[in-house]
Structure 1
Amino acid sequence: MNFDELDQKMRVYETSADTCVLPDIYMVARLDGRGFTRLTKEVCAFERPFDAQFRDLMVRTAKALMTCGFRIVYAFTESDEISLLFDRQEQLFGRKLRKLNSVLAGEASAQFSLQLRQVATFDCRISQLPNRDRVIDYFRWRSADAARNALNAHCYWCLRKEGRDARQATQQLSGLTFGQKNELLFQRGINFNDLPAWQKQGIAVYWEGYDKQSVNPVTGEAAFAQRRRLATNFELPLKADYAEFVQRLVRD
């Protein structure tokens, strides 16, 4: 059996489970840090419940993913996760889920590890969304998750700083309503509404156009060229206003 015959025979086992995303379906990749609780609390000892240095690491990782060869329209990051909206017509790797998941997880892990100078890994999964409304719902979902996580995290660490251990703090918060958790913070001098928006609503990274000044090579006169750059938004709007914000970025 020559190499070509062997290659054809064995490659079937490697590609038999390949699934491709259908044309015109929106794709959103969600990357999550693996073992980040230990990484952030024990290995690196970031400030709790939120740390600006960790936030900036996640933002830089998101930006790296938007410029690593994929056509990414929008990135949203909160806590230890990053969501990426692909251009609807993205065709890289033939839209094979296996390739998209593995490459993005590898890129995120490498970028974050290089910046942190510690080994860090991400997993990746892709949501296949049929229309613009479901894309908006997806990012509303992640925004709501950011708010819920922020409230829980601030309550939990308030209790921990008062001397409760992990089990006691978790038990005390179990079953409390949103309003009761807000009151728990308020009684300790913290107004949840006044906390930084990036902690409660996450952070957005997206492309924006701008005019770059240049010189006309023929006439020597000043001219402007249209360019694009990544913008970062740490003050995202809430609820319906956030849905409108995402809708403006989603392309048909």
Structure 2
Amino acid sequence: MNFKNLNAKMKCFETLADRSVIPQMYIIARLDGRGFTKLTKEKYSFETPFDEKFSEMMVETVKHVLKSGIKILYGYTQSDEISLLFDINENSFSRKRSKYISILAGEVSAAFSMLIGEAVVFDCRLSELPNKELVYDYFQWRMDDAYKNSLNGHVYWNLRKQGYSKNEVTEKMLNMNVAKKNELLFSNGLNFNDLPKWQKRGIGVYWEEIEKEGINEINNQKMIGKKKNLIVNKELPLKEEYKLFIRKISS
């Protein structure tokens, strides 16, 4: 069998399940660090429950992937996860799911590995959403998860630092509602409401068009141009304001 025929034959197996996302579907990629609990808590002993250096590495990773060639409008990170909202008209790689998943997992893994100084891995999955309301719901879901994780993390590590074992803390937290968790923190000198917003809401990264003054080289006159800058927002709004914020970014 010549190469041309053999190539056509074998490509069928490679692309059998290589589905493309249909036009006008919103695409969101979510990436999670693999084995990051061990990495952050045991190997590197980052500050618990939040470490600013680790958070900055996650932000730099998001910034990298927003510059990677796929048109991504918004990146959101909390803990060791990243969510990426594609432009609705993004059509690189014929919108093939397998390409987006493999490329984004590779880009994020490589970028974070360079920052931390060793090989780490992120997995990637895609959501295909038919309307903007679901896009808003998605990011509200991740912010709600960030809040829950933040409260639980502060309670967990507050108790651990008091000398309780993992099992004892787990048992203590089993039947604690949000109010009781806040009360426990407050009784130990920590007002959860006073914590930095990024610890409770996550961090957003997005493009913003700004005006920039320059000189026209032809007539040597001042001119106003426009350029896009990456903005890092550590004080994301809540609820309806967050919905309006996402709407503005994605329009």
TM-score after normalising by structure 2 = 0.98
3-state DSSP of counterpart to 1:157:
helix
Partner residue, 1:218: 218
Residue 223 of structure 1: how far off its partner (Å): 1.2
Indicate the residue corresponding to 1:156 in structure 2. 156
Q: What's the CA shift string for 1:116-151, capped at 9, x where partnerless? A: 002211000010001111101100100111000000
Matching residue of 1:141: 141
- What letter matches 1:187 in structure 2? S
Of residues 90-99 and 196-205 in structure 1, the stretch that sits farther from structure 2 once superposed is 90-99
- Corresponding position of 2:74: 74
The residue identity in structure 2 corresponding to 1:74 is Y
**Letter of the structure 2 residue corresponding to residue 17 of structure 1:** A
Matches within 5 A, 1:49-60: 49-60=49-60
The equivalent of 2:233 in structure 1 is 233
For residue 171 of structure 2, what is the aligned residue in structure 1? 171
| Ranges in structure 2 where 5+ consecutive residues have no aligned partner | none
Q: Which residue of structure 1 aligns with residue 18 of structure 2?
A: 18
Task: State how far apart, in whole Å, the 2-side matches of 1:108 and 1:234 are.
Answer: 20
Residue 201 (structure 1) shift: 0.3
SS, match of residue 89 in structure 1 = coil
Please state whether the residue corresponding to 2:200 is helix, strand or coil: helix
The CA deviation string for residues 16-60 of structure 1, in whole angstroms up to 9 with x for no partner, is 011111100000000000000000011111000000000000000
Superposed CA deviations along residues 135-181 of structure 1, whole A, max 9, x for unmatched, are 01100100111000000000000010011111111111112111111
Q: Which amino acid in the other structure matches residue 195 of structure 2?
A: L
Distance in 1 between residues matched to 2:37 and 2:162, nearest whole Å: 21
1:179-206 deviation digits (Å, cap 9, x = unpaired): 1111111111111110000000000000
- For 1:95, the equivalent position in structure 2 comes to 95
Letter in 1 for 2:214: S
Is residue 185 from structure 1 mapped to residue 185 from structure 2 by the alignment? yes
Q: Secondary structure at the match of 1:164?
A: coil
Structure 2 SS opposite 1:155: helix
Using the alignment, how far apart are the partners of 1:4 and 1:161 within structure 2? 65
Distance 1:128 1:152 in 2: 30
RMSD: 0.8
Structure 1 moving runs of 4+ over 2 Å: none
Identity across the alignment (%): 49
Tell me the distance in 1 between the aligned counterparts of 2:72 and 2:148: 27
Q: Which runs of 5+ in 1 are unaligned?
A: none
* 1:218 Cα deviation after fit: 2.1
Query: What's 1:242 paired with?
Result: 242
Report the equivalent of 1:116: 116
Amino acid at match of 1:133: E
Q: Hey, what's the Cα distance between the residues in 2 that align with 1:240 and 1:135? A: 13
Q: Secondary structure at the match of 2:156?
A: helix
SS at match of 2:198: helix
Q: Could you say what secondary structure the match of 1:225 adopts?
A: strand
Question: Once the two structures are superposed, what CA deviation does each residue of 1:47-99 show, in whole Å capped at 9, x if it has no partner?
Answer: 00000000000000000010001000001100000000000011111111111
- CA shift, 1:237, in A, is 1.1
How many aligned residue pairs are there? 251
1:5-25 CA distances to partner (integer Å, 9 max, x unpaired)?
000001111110111111000
Query: 2:64, 2:50 → 1: CA distance?
Result: 22
